[in-house]
Structure 1
Amino acid sequence: MRPDPGDEDARALSLRWSARVSLTPRILFVNVFALAMLAGGFFYLDSYRSRIVDGRVTQSIREARLIAEAIVAVPTAQRPDLAVKLARDMGSWVRIYDAEAKLVIDTRGLGLRNFVLQDPDKQDWRQAAARFLDAGIDTVVGTPRAPLYRERSNGLAWPDVRTVRSAPTVAATVWRAPDRTPVITAASPMPGGSVVMTTFNARDITQTVRVERFRLSIVLFVVAIVSVLLSLFLARTIVRPLRRLAWSAVRVRMGRAREVVVPRLPERRDEIGMLARALSDMSLALRARIDAIEAFAADVTHEMKNPLASLRSAVEGLALVKDPDLQERLLAIVRDDVHRLDRLITDIAEASRLDAQLSRAKFEPVDLGAMIAALIGSREARGVERGIRLQFDRRSAGFPLKPLVVLGEGARLERVLENVIENAISFSPDGGLIRIVARHDHDMLLIAIEDEGPGVPEEAREQVFQRFQSLRPAGEAFGKHSGLGLAIARTIVDAHHGSIVATERDDRASGARFVIHLPAAAPDA
């Protein structure tokens, strides 16, 4: 069993996880997601800071080793002055511990106070806001929190000194100052068990990262505002008209089609404007279809009242009349009315089903030339009343004759030709000629059916195609035709994307001319 194409389209257009979410939060989510991607820049800044800190740690280790080598290379008396000079040049606090971890040289005690930690309580609100922002971002990006820097009274209290004393290597540690700036300590061994330790407050790293974070925060804030405004704009320009269209469709479904005016949004040239105009046209077509159904129902009621009233009178009269001749006449009326009702109901049933049947019809190549010839032959074989003649004139712009092929449903197109030919026979005089012309007219096929009857008045040429509208020839018994033949013919021709009109004859002679245009099929159809 083949899958339903409608189900396949529905599955292709379905949304699994967001099907129950309105468009407005979806638009906001998409834009906020883009902002989240931009906020990923904070992760990059964190890795950038980590790389800078690692570089400073490496630098501090190298400086501690150089200071240790320089101190060892000079006499003991010159070591304090050299330590102060090196500490000033490198911007570090230099301390030297002896083999017993006692402090022997301290550049700060010698008057060089180039290492001063900032007191957060004495800084202004901007620094406090910066620290708060640092703490929030560090929490979000998951930055490891360094231990708080505190002064130690004993050299062995420093982990770097303990590491150097236990193994002949250089050690360093990153601390966190009270103002959240990094403090880097490094220790290097000296001959005899002494240790040199440097302490450096890398406030410039924090300032650099804060500046970049501030810039990124400003960009993120501005983009967030613009993104929210754009989301609201999109929600206003997309969601609101869609809701209006949906509400209009709901009101049409509730049976209020006449009261509903579906907005056409003529100023919009996008897909929503196309949807609005399509829905508006659909509602107008639906309204016209409802009006046509209502008018058809009213016409059916009106057309059936006359034969029913006649039938009722005749049946009631049969019970009262005793004269055999009158009874026979009443029975003849009953038979005529029954036949008339049967013919009327048959035509009504076909007319009511015609639209649905044509919508499901499968069009195939149909040779109208062969169909017309066969139809005329069949009609002549049955006999044409009153000596009326049928003539088929097949014309073409060149030779050999082009096939008169259209894409359509053969039985329905045959019904069109039968109805128009029967209409021409009804109006033709005794011994009259009905001429049928078929030829190519550019990319269309033209079929013209002419008779020699009284013709169709100009003011009634459109009216004859309406249901239950009939201009009957003089002398024809009432009720012989239902008035649906030409209406059915037009419905079928319209379904084949063609047209049918009533005009006067080209030679201005008396008679009617019905012209049918149908799209010609491609040669390889």
Structure 2
Amino acid sequence: MADDYRKARLGGQLRWRLSRRILAVNLIILLVLALALLFLDSFRNQLRAEREAQTANIAEMAAGAVARMAPGDIDPYLSSVGRMTGARLRLYGPDGARLSDSWTATGPTYRLRDPALQPWTKAIARALDRGFNALVGQPQLADFAEPADDRLQRWPEALAAKRGPGMSGAVRNAPDLTPVISSAIAVPGERVLLVTSNDRDFTRTVREERAKLATGLFAAALVSFLLSFFLARTIARPLHRLALAAHRVRLGRSREVRVPRFTKRRDEIGLLARAVSDMSQALRLRIDNIEAFAADVTHELKNPLASLRSAVDGLDRIEDPALRRQLLDVVRQDVLRLDRLIGDIGEAARTDAELARAAFEPVDLGTLVGQICEGWEQRRLTGDVRIAFARPRAASAIVLGEPSRLARAIDNLIDNAISFSPAGGLVEVAVAHVGDEVRIRIDDEGPGVPAQVREAIFNRFVSVRPEGDDFGRHSGLGLAIARAIVKGHDGEIDVADRDDAPSGARFTIRLPAAPAEGREA
């Protein structure tokens, strides 16, 4: 439950995920390409429809005029229409033979170009035409060729016009892939008028439009490349810097390795940078603590060992039974002190590691503290010091934590309060839910803690006690262990003077209250 809560908090920091950025950049060029293809295909189809309609209009107008003309006027008329429109007009008789041809008087009004005689740029243009047709799924057009025997039967559209009412047309490709548009219409007297035109302007217009779109696509591709390059730099360079910093941390050659945090970034890279920076700082702090802890352990073990060695050495030289008993008592005290010290050192060393692996669960601190206080009373370890517990409302003080570790921290503070309380004193324990945290308060009636050492008493092997206190009874690790446990639960611990009594210390533990969804066990 706690892991889900942390993941939700981390996910909320990501404003614009890298995966979405990269996907958006890559989709730009694809979207522009798709729109360009759709536009060019629509433009070409519309332009072709207009040209087919134009050829059909020529055929219909000429057919109407030919139907009212005398045979001798047809050739001059068809020639003049062909000259004005650039088309070729042919009239076929009932038997399919050609009766009139506009080219007879005017000569060819269009010429079919041989691709082999055209420059290489035209070959590239034709290759682009074929590629575009394949992309948009354009059906392959038939090739156009003038029949050697020019008769009506050689033209399917003319046969269709002769058989049925209305007009019939076709579009074919010239050798250079320019369209040849034809329209045929029946003329009274079982005749058929066929109009053909090689619309080179159509191909030129489509290719010019395609060139404009290609320029736009190139610009879009360039922008996409620059954006991708920008994203690559914003991803690869920070990761490279993080990798170098992590490598320096691993080598450990520098005491302070600065890991970039990228505080202005609100994406996965920024989140990773801050996580690595926090991790390196926590690792550095842990290493420093381990080194300091090892030095402190060495120092603390030397004192009882030196005393123990001195007492053991003296046993061989002293014959007085009373002095020997005193030395044996010193040996027993030193052994007890060493045993207690080693036990507390082991507990302190395990605390951080066990908390790092612990699976937190909902803990009712009201119930937990009540059980600890009852345990002290039942064991009668308080001497004549009394314990008073102000129990909170049921299920009102829930935190996420490791129950046994929290119990150890609270138990250490109660033990500390009892040890400083005078004979017949009262230790007051209270638990309350205040705002978004749960507070545990432990008050004693002892001398209190001087302001100048209130922070130091939470350090390892620090014990500020009155003169004459039991030698070796306290290792100076109890409060340090309590603080480590509380910090491992994202909490705080402090000490102050009591404000409701003439003397005494007040220890306060503050722990984050469990969220509403995290209170279900």
Q: Same fold by TM-score, threshold 0.5 exceeded?
A: yes
**CA shift in 2, pair 1:120/1:27, >3 Å:** farther
1:416 and 2:413 aligned: no
8 Å CA contact 1:434, 1:452 repeated in 2: no
TM-superposition CA deviations, 1:50-89 (whole Å, max 9, x none): 5654665576467557645653543222222332344356
| Local SS of the residue matching 1:491 | helix
| SS class of match (2:106) | coil
Choose which of 125, 129, 133 in structure 2 pairs with 1:141: 133
- Map 1:179-198 to 2 at 5 A: 180-186=177-183, 196-198=193-195
Q: Is the 8 A contact 1:389 1:433 kept in 2?
A: yes
Please give the alpha-carbon distance, in whole angstroms, between the structure 2 residues aligned to 1:189 and 1:497: 95
Q: Using the TM superposition, name which of 300-309 and 145-154 deviates more.
A: 145-154
Q: How many aligned residue pairs are there?
A: 493
Contact persistence 1:27–1:231 (CA under 8 A) = no
For 1:128-155, what per-residue CA distance to the aligned partner results, in whole angstroms no more than 9, with x for missing partners?
7577345314224325665665655541
- Distance (Å, rounded) in 2 between the aligned partners of 1:337 and 1:363: 42
Greater CA drift, 332-341 or 501-510: 501-510
Give the conservation status (yes or no) of the 8 Å contact 2:115–2:123. Answer: no
Code of the aligned partner of 2:200: R
1:234 aligns with 2:231: yes
Judging changes above 3 Å, is the alpha-carbon distance between structure 1 residues 278 and 120 closer, same or farther for their aligned structure 2 residues? same
Mapped partners of 2:361, 2:157: distance in 1 = 95
Scaled by the length of structure 1, the TM-score of the pair is 0.76
* Corresponding residue for residue 283 of structure 1: 280
For 2:15, the equivalent position in structure 1 comes to none
Give the letter for the 2:377 counterpart.
Answer: G
Task: Report the Cα distance in structure 2 between the residues aligned to 1:501 and 1:189, rounded to whole angstroms.
Answer: 108
Secondary structure at the aligned position of 2:209 is classed as helix
SS at match of 1:223: helix
Q: SS state of the match for residue 298, structure 1?
A: helix
Structure 2 match to 1:84: 79
1:374 aligns with: 374
Residue 203 of structure 1 and its aligned partner are, at CA, apart by 2.8
The alpha carbon displacement at 1:462 in A equals 0.8
Counterparts of 2:504 and 2:193, CA distance in 1: 126
TM-superposed CA distance for 1:517, in Å, is 4.1
Q: Contact 1:257 / 1:283 at 8 angstroms: preserved in 2? A: no
Matches within 5 A, 1:378-457: 378=378, 381-382=380-381, 384=383, 388-390=384-386, 392=388, 394=390, 405-407=397-399, 411-429=404-422, 431=423, 433-436=425-428, 438=430, 440=432, 442-443=434-435, 444-453=438-447, 455-457=448-450
Question: 1:306 Cα deviation (Å)?
Answer: 2.7
Bigger Cα displacement from structure 2, 62-71 vs 208-217: 62-71
Which residue of structure 2 aligns with residue 265 of structure 1?
Answer: 262
User: C-alpha separation between the residues in 2 aligned to 1:490 and 1:166?
Assistant: 101
**Structure 1 contact 184–199 (Cα < 8 Å) conserved:** yes
In 1, Cα distance between the equivalents of 2:54 and 2:219? 38
The 3-state SS of whatever aligns with 1:467 is coil
SS of 1:263's equivalent?
coil
Partner of 2:88: 93
Cα-to-partner distance string for 1:405-432 (whole Å, 9 max, x where unaligned)? 4535554444334433433443445x35
How far apart are residue 483 of structure 1 and its match? 0.9
C-alpha displacement at 1:233, in angstroms? Answer: 1.8
State the partner residue of 1:203.
200
Q: Tell me if 1:468 matches 2:468.
A: no
What is the one-letter code of the residue matched to 1:354? Answer: T
CA RMSD of aligned residues (A): 4.5
Change (3 A) 1:378 1:196: same
User: Which residue in the other structure is 1:307 paired with?
Assistant: 304
* Residue identity in the other structure for 1:370: G
* Contact 2:66 2:74 (8 Å CA) reproduced: yes
CA contact (8 A) 1:505 1:512 kept: yes
Moved more, 154-163 or 293-302: 154-163
Aligned equivalents of 1:204, 1:404: Cα separation in 2: 86
- SS at the partner of 1:367? helix
**Structure 1 residues 271, 434: CA separation in 2 closer, same or farther (over 3 Å shift)?**
same
Q: Distance in 2 between matches of 1:365 and 1:148?
A: 88
Decide whether aligned partners of structure 1 residues 206 and 334 sit closer, same or farther in structure 2, where only a CA change above 3 A counts. Answer: same
* C-alpha contact (below 8 Å) 1:152/1:158 kept by paired residues: no
Aligned residue number for residue 37 of structure 2: 42
- The aligned residue for residue 216 of structure 2 is 219
Give the counterpart letter for 1:392 in structure 2.
A
Does structure 1 retain, via aligned residues, the 8 Å contact 2:388–2:428? yes
User: Structure 2 length as normaliser, TM-score?
Assistant: 0.76
Instruction: Report the Cα offset of residue 45 of structure 1.
Output: 2.8
Which residue does the alignment assign to 2:70? 75
Tell me the equivalent position of 2:364: 365
State the distance in 1 between where 2:375 and 2:33 align. Answer: 79
Distance of 1:522 and 1:33 partners within structure 2: 41
8 Å Cα contact 1:88-1:112 kept in structure 2:
no
Match of 1:20 in 2: none
Identity of aligned residues (%): 42
What letter is aligned with 1:106? D
Query: How many Å separate the matches in 1 of 2:387 and 2:502?
Result: 17
Q: Secondary structure at the match of 2:105?
A: coil
Is the CA contact (8 Å cut-off) linking 2:82 and 2:102 kept in structure 1? yes
How far apart are the structure 1 equivalents of 2:243 and 2:322?
Answer: 68
Structure 2's unaligned 5+ residue stretches are 12-17
State the AA in 1 paired with 2:197.
Answer: F
Aligned: 1:110 with 2:105: yes
Shift of 1:263: 0.6
Greater relative contact order, per chain length (Cα 8 Å cut-off, separation 6+):
2
2:124 corresponding residue in structure 1: 132
Q: Match of 2:257, SS?
A: coil
- Letter aligned with residue 135 of structure 1: A
> CA separation of 1:150/1:325 partners in 2, compared to 1, >3 Å: closer, same or farther?
same
How far residue 44 of structure 1 moved from its aligned partner, in angstroms, is 5.3
C-alpha separation between the residues in 1 aligned to 2:265 and 2:388? 53
Whether the 8 Å CA contact 2:385–2:421 is kept in 1: the answer is no
Amino acid at match of 2:279: M
1:29 Cα deviation from its structure 2 partner: 7.7
The CA deviation at 1:114 is: 4.1
1:494 maps to amino acid = K
Decide which moves more: 52-61 or 331-340: 52-61
The AA in structure 1 aligned to 2:345 is I
Contact 1:394 1:438 in 2 (8 A): yes
Most deviating of 276-285 and 460-469 = 276-285
Rate the CA distance shift 1:141–1:191 in 2: closer, same or farther, 3 A: closer
Match of 1:155 in 2: 150
Q: Distance in 2 between matches of 1:357 and 1:327?
A: 44
Q: Secondary structure at the match of 2:496?
A: strand
One-letter code aligned to 1:365 = D
Aligned partner of 1:364: which letter?
A: V
Q: How many angstroms apart in 2 are the aligned matches of 1:519 and 1:30?
A: 40
Q: CA 1:251/1:96 → structure 2, altered by over 3 Å: closer, same or farther? A: same
1:343 pairs with 2:340: yes
Q: CA deviation at 1:275?
A: 3.6
Distance 1:201 1:225, change over 3 A: same
